[in-house]
Structure 1
């Protein structure tokens, strides 16, 4: 049964609706607790037209939600990436569903054992505003592949995109299979309090703590995809022009509003000015103008813009050097955009050094040795991603083995998120659990261990009374 909601929620029709849907999905799951591969694949196949037949509608909705969202970024990071995940899951699903044979120890002989991956039931997905299509539909695909029913809570910060997804999902799925929920913060809170069989949340570390606390009341297992300050280390000998170009892919996309965007650069101290010059050149090449440039994505809302500008004001007041890159010398007042900005001479008293930036601002920190750079990373909370640029494989191995992060790119940024065959997830403050790849299928499944004994019952030889010669023989061979 659905847990009773708090008094302040009782008269909210949106919350009453999500409770009704949850009850319907639980009942539907009990009627079909183990969908066949064919059934799962058919459900997944319905999502491809939702994506490819409505590209212009997605572009328009996101552009309106952000005031400016680059159309190509929507195509690349939302639609195309999600389609690749759909194709990959479709190809691998039957293999994932096969029982996994396991070894029987001497104590359990004769018998056989295996693991079956059983659907959990009803899965909840809480979606952030930065990539609302991809971060709703990719986990939806994986949860359906695992045989579950799914409820999706969209972000109130992207209402047009949320409304479009709700409309399109309603056209292709009954609500007892997949349902999209829109609404404000109170609805999100009530959503997190439902006794889901699994809950996936993507968002900030601060909100992640609230989600985990709400889920704990029902002992609901959670996957938290959070964020943090993802470092980017430039090796001493790596070509700086190439570094700036590759870092720009991860930092400029969506104006830095990406959970795995590089947050700060660890640069050899004798090459800091070289990086500044290369970064200015790269940003200028990509965005010769910004205010009215449709390729330059805006900050999602005034509150987020104010937060970013507040970081700069605080950093300046505390002695940082702020380098704004504004090639056309434009006036950004009245715009919801923020120019790409480098911040140097940062100290830990500054807000920008403590909080995940999540925007087009980037810290540059000089270092003397690679060991010093590694120590700088390890002195801070474990990030969602780490990026290292170096052609020297021994140095790469040092970084890999002496740092912790959810994922890593060597000589690139953020591309690992688009590799469907590896897990994506955080560690510690940057999250827990993972999805994508076979690990995603397992996240939304119960790995049920099964042991089967045949007609011969060897266990009878170890029954009491103890101390018989058979016991002594068994201990002689197995207690060593």
Structure 2
């Protein structure tokens, strides 16, 4: 594709420049005079939902074509997240938009205080290839609910899906409201340098650093949804069969290309062999074949397939036990994107598989002596996007929650904390900045403007007017010490 962006537009004259589109969106936002109202936002969300539902099979087909095969069930699950966000926002929008009463400091009573939600202006969204619909549109839902105009740059790695997103959006919104920019890496780089009022990026930590650097040029606030090595810890005494099946199922979803998947498993020393046996059985049951199995995903980019192959070979050369599962003995290669499900045990700590996010259908299984040892192993690395702990022991759950820091946590499950309306989704440290979903997304893309309605009965200011005398000394003494006292200077 050319570096020149193509922009989804209903405008007859077309738009061929990113800055021009941003200027048009900002001008349209300013021309409103005041933010859009409840009915306008609610109707926009409903029309967007209807359009996505009407094109749901087209969306699944486009994603499958981009990946060289992906189960429509996985694509529908991805679409569900966006639709669920739309429905949740629409049903609660009126409540979210209301100014919120907060308490004024007691020294200023009977003054009243409010938080007044206002849109930021124009929000930019850069999506990722692994879930091209969800990562491009889910942040846009929060931005639209907050009353912003939105520019979306879907992943250049999924061109058919990106083109379809552009088509759907253009059928619902004028480009001054929501515009979709499609193009290659050069277009994405231009996009990240625009002076948005807020920028959302989903992708790797490496690219996230570049996005943040570009955004800093214009002091653009960012929400970065990155990744990292998310651990799945199986606590002592937990049902190993359930834990293995859950971790394997999530790990192999979308061929492991899920930012919140369990990157590696941590099991007690004495449980490793039993855990591995359950994991083997689960893999064989889930995927009796690979290449000819529509339920088994593809690694989208050949370079990622080759990276995974190199990392697995490095682990084997380093003394790890590597088990690859290809029951039908099919030809799995970088050309067809099929990378066999792989279990790795006994991997050295210094190899890339142990140090870097895997982002593929490879599950290292490490061991720990005590739960404190497992916690220490997690805390030695950078803070992960997700942490999973399997345990029925309340004390152990509390200990892990208190002593680890992660973007989000699921107990006795994997992944679904990331799509809960009332749980913000986001990272911490190297795994990201900021969070959204539900009300958290509305507030993330709003300015919660503080307003104080000062009462004429409030005398604090009047009593502190110069020339300062004995009364000011008593007032300041009371304010500083929270009891009657004259402050001496």
TM-score (norm 1): 0.95
Q: How does 1:44-193 map to 2 (within 5 A)?
A: 44-76=45-77, 78-193=78-193
Deviation of the 1:405 alpha carbon: 0.2
Q: Deviations over 1:326-348 (max 9, x none)?
A: 22233314531111101112123
Q: Residue in 2 aligned with 1:431?
A: 432
**CA–CA distance in structure 2, aligned partners of residues 269 and 395 of structure 1:** 17
The structural deviation recorded for 1:17 is: 2.0
Relative to the length of structure 2, the TM-score reads 0.93
Alignment-derived partner of residue 402 in structure 2: 401
Residue 241 of structure 1 is matched in structure 2 by 241
- Whether 1:382 aligns to 2:406 is no
Instruction: Tell me, in whole angstroms, the C-alpha distance in 1 between the residues paired with 2:91 and 2:5.
Output: 41
Alpha-carbon distance in structure 1 between the residues aligned to 2:136 and 2:99? 28
Q: Which of 461, 464, 467 is the equivalent residue of 1:462?
A: 464
Q: Is the 8 A contact 1:249 1:413 kept in 2?
A: no
- 1:5 maps to which residue? none
Residues in 1 aligned to 2:319 and 2:299: alpha-carbon distance in whole angstroms: 26
3-state SS in 1 of match to 2:260: coil
Q: Which moved more, 1:242-251 or 1:355-364?
A: 242-251
In the aligned structure 2, how far is the partner of 1:478 from the partner of 1:29?
A: 43
CA distance in 2, matches of 1:39, 1:249: 41
8 Å contact from structure 2 (residues 68, 336) kept in 1: no
The whole-number CA distance in structure 1 between the counterparts of 2:381 and 2:458 is: 56
User: Once the two structures are superposed, what CA deviation does each residue of 1:48-91 show, in whole Å capped at 9, x if it has no partner?
Assistant: 12221112211111111000111111112x12222111111111
Q: Which residue of 2 aligns with 1:362?
A: 363
Contact 1:223 1:431 (C-alpha < 8 Å) held by counterparts: yes
Structure 2 distance, partners of 1:178, 1:261, is 31
Q: Secondary structure at the match of 1:465?
A: coil
Instruction: Give the deviation of 1:456 after TM superposition.
Output: 4.5
Unaligned runs of 5+ in 2: 8-15, 482-489
Deviation at residue 415 of structure 1 after TM alignment: 0.9
Aligned to 2:285: 285
CA contact (8 A) 1:14 1:187 kept: no
Name 1:225's counterpart in structure 2: 225
SS at match of 2:350: coil
What is the CA–CA distance in structure 2 between the aligned matches of 1:43 and 1:244, rounded to whole Å?
43
User: Contact between 1:126 and 1:153, CA under 8 Å: does it hold in 2?
Assistant: yes
CA RMSD of aligned residues (A): 1.6
Which is further off, 236-245 or 142-151? 236-245
1:419, CA displacement in angstroms?
Answer: 1.1
Q: Distance in 2 between matches of 1:81 and 1:249?
A: 19
TM-superposition CA deviations, 1:336-394 (whole Å, max 9, x none): 11111011121232111122111100111111100000000000000000000001111
* Preserved CA contact (<8 Å) 2:424 2:437: yes
1:461 Cα deviation (Å)?
1.9
Q: Does 1:257 align with 2:257?
A: yes
1:439 CA drift (Å): 1.4
